[in-house]
Amino acid sequence: MIVRSYASSSLLITQPDHAALAGRIMDVWATRGLRDAPQRASILRAVSEHDVGWREVDAAPLVDEANGQILDFISAPASVRQGVWPRAVQRLSNDSTTAALVAEHALQVYSRYRGDGQWTAFFDTMASLRDEHAARASLSKDAVREMYFFVRAGDLISLTFCTGWLEPQTIDDHEIKLVGPNDVGIRPDPFGGAVVPFEISARALPNRPFPSPAEAAELFRQAPVITLRGMARGLGA
């Protein structure tokens, strides 16, 4: 779950919805050969469905039993974060290119935990899944990593909007940052001058501790759906 907190309320966005938004944005990406890539459909599917393993987790908010706060995708227990990725790869296994890219995503986004013994089995499993599906798709590791750029770029653009991150994000030679309350700018311009409008659904909950996960789940089910709108656009040099 993505949690965007304000003084009196928190907006909750599911990980699968965030990923779908990333896919819609990357569908307009015009540079680095994506438009004509033979694997374009598989790459865009990896972007759009990279968080499919969070579907069950995000059916209701996770709550920290110690303080009653809602846990987001960063603060969720390690067991939860480790568990979603083999499930995601399994669900995408009918397209080995897509599955390999999502396994690579899991390896990259948690790379800070390399050397942590509690994560060793996770990295071994995800590397094995990546290599298995890359071999099935006749892809080298370098080819997977080259295509993975688009998965991570879409992920960062969508996350910047959904979370309201103020800190600029970088990937290769691209900088991604908020340039207004609901606008994301990317430098250099990857959209050929186009402006990419988008929207995503969120649910508003009170920004307060919850005495039980059951209460948070019930309020989540009853919460009105709010539509957040924004746009992505390229920035000049």
- Kindly state the tokens that stand for 183: 């606008």
- For residue range 97-123, list pLDDT tens digits in order: 999 999 999 999 999 999 999 999 999
What are the CA-CA distances from residue 12 to residues 80, 123, 202, 203, 204 (Å)?
A: 18, 29, 5, 5, 6
How much of the chain, in percent, has pLDDT values that exceed 90? Answer: 96
Distance CA 119, CA 111 (A): 10
pTM of this prediction exceeds 0.75 = yes
- For residue range 173-204, list pLDDT tens digits in order: 999 999 988 899 999 999 999 999 999 999 99
* Residue type present at position 67: N
| Residue owning tokens 């942590």 | 116
User: What are the residue ranges of helices labelled H in the chain?
Assistant: 15-26, 40-49, 78-91, 96-109, 120-136, 141-163, 213-222
- For residue range 37-96, list pLDDT tens digits in order: 999 999 999 999 999 999 999 999 999 999 999 999 999 999 999 999 999 999 999 999
- Kindly state the tokens that stand for 134: 């890359």
Find the Cα–Cα–Cα–Cα dihedral 131, 133, 137, 143, rounded to 10°: -40
